[in-house]
Amino acid sequence: MVEVTVTPQSSLADRPVQIRVRGLSPSQLVTLRAWLKDEQGERFQSRAFFRADEAGEVDPGLHAALGGSYSGVWPMGLLWFLQPDTLFRRLVKRDVAGSPFRVRLEVFDGLCLGMDPKEQPLASCEAERWYVGPGVQRVPIREGRVRGALFLPP
């Protein structure tokens, strides 16, 4: 049974996570895809193609991506190379304290280039990427023409 995991499942956006796929056939060619929807409903996604090792596992921190949104060994590549479906959109988190980005990770058999709705992933999971840690207080700043926010630790 194929399984994709993200460890830790919930983390701060600037912290590394480990993505792993297990249960593949040795040397199986797969596509790993990450995607999320921002607060305006715009979808951002990335994909990378991998060949499973002898144990039937893929770890982007150890195995080089053969192509897709990036190539080479990038442990966080699937999260760093997220691109909008609509040109000229930027991934911006406005409600930094209230909710995380929920990133969906999926693994597909072979090379998956499009968004064919009939294409079913072999496995999927979800990761939460928070921008503010628990207990951090956000204080808006307005002084003259200066605008900003002060984040106070617990």
Question: Where do the domains of the chain lie, and which CATH numbers do they carry?
Answer: 3-152 (2.60.40.2240)
Q: Are 32 and 19 in contact (CB under 8 A)?
A: yes
pLDDT digits (tens, 9 = 90+) for 40-65: 999 999 999 999 999 999 999 999 99
The string of pLDDT tens digits covering residues 100-113 is 999 999 999 999 88
Q: What is the pTM of this model?
A: 0.88
What does the alpha-carbon distance between residue 96 and residue 93 come to, in Å, rounded to a whole number? 6
CB 130 within 8 A of CB 13: yes
Contact 49, 21 (CB under 8 A): no
pLDDT score of 52: 97
Q: Which of 105, 103, 101 is nearest to 132 (CA)?
A: 101
- pLDDT score of 98 more than 90: no
